[in-house]
Structure 1
């Protein structure tokens, strides 16, 4: 088993980052996620809890497919909790298929930066365990390298969503301002 950890700081407030992280897929930065379905979603004691199924596709070397039968289409179970009062989001994901030879568990937490509330700290941890005799070490290293690359894409995906949210807000704001201006002009003509 191998463990990978990382910490990243977003230069955005917690609520902005969490909104974007929850809406991260699909995005053009990381095209591996092909589909997402919400299985359960509820609010209890002010905490939003969601369970989603993700479908991803990864390019797999032919020899891996021959050895394992895994085609590269991965299904994962994701559980997220968002606590707006305590400003804490946790997201855990585990793979559902290929578990006989590959087990991946991921945990992400988003919290305000204690030194600057206008920034958000993302802590990531992934554990990978491969059960392929004679290939375990090689596969675990290769998978964690891929995971690290995808983690960078995930962060860029969050930034992409934040940019889109800002653009949407500016477009709506401009439209509302223009409509209010038109209404004021109509009201003064009467």
Structure 2
């Protein structure tokens, strides 16, 4: 049995901006699970299409029950092949990815098409399809549901990746990550707490001065 997922999203940047940003997504604070990326093949066809193949290494934590299925000497990193076709004439980019290890546990295939948004030529729409299959007896459904949930989570991270890189390429301040926002809030709260006694002392001093003036 194969689980299928279809999702669509929009980036408020032109295809001409999204296309170069795609090749600069990593490293990225939103996708620290992507460990490495290597281009193993690239060519320009006679009809001016760019064909590329990349090998990516990702590290994703498995659920506890799945951890027990892995022998102690087996690496938990996932190796993924990505084939892409860029058609500058029609302004489309199509990618197809699939894992090449741990296939005994699950196979996740993804197809993405990036094209100019039909409603706004300055935006880019992304159509994502995913197929998840597992032949693991007894727990295949649980594996598929977990893989789909992880896929959706990573899809959200990818959109954050794009927003972060596009902001940098366009000379804007990149959006802050949740960790950065939390750190700033913590530091601000600490500063407020440290300043509170001094502020209270100052208020008390002003109140005492005012009281003395009234008595006079």
Give the structure-2-normalised TM-score. 0.74
1:100-128 Cα distance to aligned partner (Å, 9 max, x none): 22111001110001221101110001111
Structure 2 residues not aligned, in runs of 5+: 173-216
Moved beyond 2 Å, runs of 4+: 68-72
Is structure 2 residue 7 aligned with structure 1 residue 10?
A: no
| CA 68–131 in structure 1, closer or farther in 2 if over 3 Å, else same | farther
Give the greater-gyration-radius structure (CA): 2
SS of equivalent residue, structure 1 residue 9? strand
Q: Contact (CA 8 Å) 1:60, 1:71: kept in 2 or not?
A: no
Identify which of 161, 169, 173 aligns with 1:157: 161
1:83-108 Cα distance to aligned partner (Å, 9 max, x none): 11110100110000011221110011
2:78 is matched with: 74
Identify which of 50, 63, 83 aligns with 2:87: 83
Number of equivalenced pairs: 168
2:60 is matched with: 58
Backbone CA RMSD of aligned residues: 1.4
Give the structure-1-normalised TM-score. 0.84
Distance in 2, matches of 1:68 and 1:130, equals 15
Distance in 2, matches of 1:167 and 1:108, equals 27
SS of equivalent residue, structure 2 residue 69? helix
Higher relative contact order (CA 8 A, sep 6+): 1
SS of equivalent residue, structure 1 residue 67? coil
Distance in 1, matches of 2:62 and 2:150, equals 11
Q: Structure 1 or 2: larger strand share?
A: 1
1:1-190 map, 5 Å: 1-44=2-45, 45-69=47-71, 71-167=75-171
Deviation at 1:8, TM superposition (A): 0.3
Distance in 1, matches of 2:14 and 2:152, equals 24
Q: Contact (CA 8 Å) 2:27, 2:34: kept in 1 or not?
A: yes
Distance in 1, matches of 2:83 and 2:118, equals 25
